[in-house]
Amino acid sequence: MAGKSKPKPEQVGRASELRELLARHNRHYYELDEPLIPDAEYDRLFRELLALESEFPELVASDSPTRRVGGAVSGGFAEVVHGMPMLSLDNAFSDQDVLDFDRRVRERLGTDVVVYCAEPKLDGVAISLVYENGRLLVAATRGDGAIGEDVTHNVRTIASVPLELRGSGLPRRIEVRGEVYMPRQGFLELNRRAQKSGEKAFVNPRNAAAGSLRQLDPAIAARRPLEMYAYGIGQASGGELPDRHSATLQRLREWGLRTSPEAALVSGAEGCLVYYRVLEARRDALPFDIDGVVYKVDDYGCQQQLGFVARAPRWAIAHKFPAEEQLSQVEAIDVQVGRTGAMTPVARLTPVFVGGVTVSNATLHNFAELKRKDVRIGDTVTVRRAGDVIPEIVSVVLARRPPGAAEVAVPAVCPVCGSEVVQAEGQVIVRCSGGLVCPAQRKQALRHFASRRAMDISGLGDQLVEQLVDSGMVKTAADLYCLDQMHLSALERMGDRSAARLIQAIDASRKTTLPRFLYALGIPEVGDATSRLLAREFGSLDKLAAASEEELQAVPDIGPVMAAGIAAFFRQRDNQQVIADLRKAGVGWDESAETARGSQPLRGRSFVLTGTLAGMSRDEAKARIESLGGKVTGSVSSRTSYVVCGEDPGSKLARATALGVQVLDEQGFLALLEQQA
């Protein structure tokens, strides 16, 4: 159009910069599976480039990320918050593990025999399908269990996933959970086509399925031979569901979903083990890969009675098949220093194909294990992928040991910073004493400090942490709060806008909660759940820091090793100084929101949340309850104290009414909190 303005030089440069940035982030996200920025930041960059190209069409390049063909999901994959966490399962690796699992279940239920539903454990990708009024609404990966990736466009191309459920008795909204996999024959054909066209072949069917689901272009996923089996239901509202898992599988089949034809009801541990042996013998003849079997207590009432522990249900377990083993040679033994200072010997191996992947490194766990197995440089060793996940050295082939192979001793000093190496009495873990002065610990500690469940500093990715530490700008977490925009913008690939956003994110993180702060400190053995527990039990940072090992061990689930680690952490002057510097920099939380042990009015009372609250999010409601000593659970039982009901409640309200559990509306819930505060 005549008179249309031309892009300014800075706009031309910015468009080029955005294309490079987005291409780089695409590679890290889709190929390396290590995103450098949150999805929201990627979306912002994408929209900025799209706006420039829309205003100035001459800026459009043929390789622009905005010009991907085939209905690509704009800006990568959106996040999907799972209404109910997609938990992992505990593993059993032996018959005795299964016998122990069955014994624990029987003891908790007070019965002699338990009926289980046994199913193959497909080696695929867990998927969540949300149907509303029978129509597929959202498909998401499991992600971290709480938040997954929206892969709806790709899942719609899978022929075995119905876009609309059929049959009667459909809930208004239902979440179906299952496994997306690639049949062996389809995998072989896919690799044949890849090799013929000169493309890179996939290592195994699982990687092929995962890679297919995470394609930007659904047309690519449509060409991949993906299948899905449903294995259960997450959440449902507006309908009645069966009271047994096996009946649920039947109902899913009636609605048009595929479930494993190998699923069967078995009685007791012996029935589980017979099923395992039969399926193990047929493993190679199945048209898809499996890495074990799963046993689930069939009765849902019993499942609710058993509940959960940590991130796994007590009512199910995965019985893994024996891992594949191969021989390799130890070329070197290095020492890795973790963010807590723990030093781990790692064997560098001659690359070997084990369990579907090429293995070149194997952990030796600790120096006591290294000595027990007597692994030496030059040894020929048996390598196994334990649980089909972690490569490990099983044993040494002594007959092939080269002459003069010497034992590997515990290093006297840290290989990274040269600090003294220490080992607590009675402990197998060897640690670097350098603490926050050790670069290895410093970078990992900063990454952990900034992570989403810790201080949640958006934009502080791995590469930026590397630059900040290597440049000397940041030595401890407290130094983050002294950064200024001018110095940040001078860093490579930073720029004024990115620097301003990071400063804003750092400032926003000053206001946090005590559990998040404790988790961010990276105290050895203290994870997310333990941080919440400690905050709830002690109520303040000062009281926790002053607690003795005996007082710490009095807290449920805190054993002597963890108690010693927590006490030692708060005794160290370096740690005390960093905490003091953080508080001086303005990092803090509402002290009144934390209630000290012994003065928790809701201790012993359990709550279930259902529906949407107008005045607060579900996370905020949970935090308020836990700060007063209460417990929030996911299912209603006769032992539930209160069901808090917001707008559009699910089936939990009906169950609460049937069981006679007290129901609180939002006003009543707030009144209870005010009364107890």
CA 431/CA 420 separation, integer angstroms: 9
- Closest alpha carbon to 392 in 401, 402, 381: 381
Question: Residue 135 forms beta bridges with which residues?
Answer: 132, 164
Residue 85 contacts by C-beta under 8 Å, 6 or more apart in sequence?
Answer: 145, 146, 311
Phi/psi class of residue 225: alpha, beta or left (left: φ > 0; alpha: ψ in -120 to 50)?
A: beta
493: alpha, beta or left? (left if phi > 0; alpha if psi -120 to 50): left
Contact between residue 318 and residue 126 where contact means Cβ atoms under 8 Å apart: no
Write the CA distances from 609 to 304, 541, 643, integer angstroms. Answer: 16, 29, 6
Tokens representing 594?
A: 């934390």
C-alpha to C-alpha distance for 607 and 418, rounded to whole angstroms = 51
Give the C-alpha separation, 595 to 543, whole Å: 11
Sign (positive/negative) of CA torsion 579, 582, 584, 586? negative
CB distance 513 to 623 below 8 Å: yes
> Which of these is catalytic: 121, 320, 622, 652?
121
DSSP class of 200: P
Strands 430-432 and 342-354: antiparallel
Contacts made by residues 495-500, CB under 8 angstroms, sequence distance 24+:
495/17, 498/459
Q: Choose among 618, 601, 612, 616: nearest CA to 673.
A: 601
Alpha-carbon distance 229 to 122, whole Å?
Answer: 9
Burial of 105: CB neighbours in 10 Å, binned 0-12, 13-18, 19+:
buried
**Both tokens of residue 258?**
């595929």
Identity of the residue numbered 374: D
Side chain identity at 447, as an amino acid letter? R
Other beta carbons within 10 angstroms of residue 603's beta carbon come to 15
Measured CA to CA, the distance from residue 453 to residue 450 in angstroms comes to 8
What string of DSSP letters covers 397-409? -GGGPPTTPPPPP
- Rounded to 5°, the CA angle 286-291-293 comes to 85
Phi-psi region of 437 (alpha: psi -120 to 50; beta: other; left: phi over 0): alpha
Q: What is the dihedral of CA 424, 425, 426, 428, to 10 degrees?
A: 30
Active site (annotated) includes residue 200 = no
Contacts of 634 (CB under 8 A, 6+ apart): 84, 308, 608
d(Cα 391, Cα 413) in Å, to the nearest integer? 27
Q: Which two tokens stand for residue 203?
A: 């290592």
List active site positions: 121
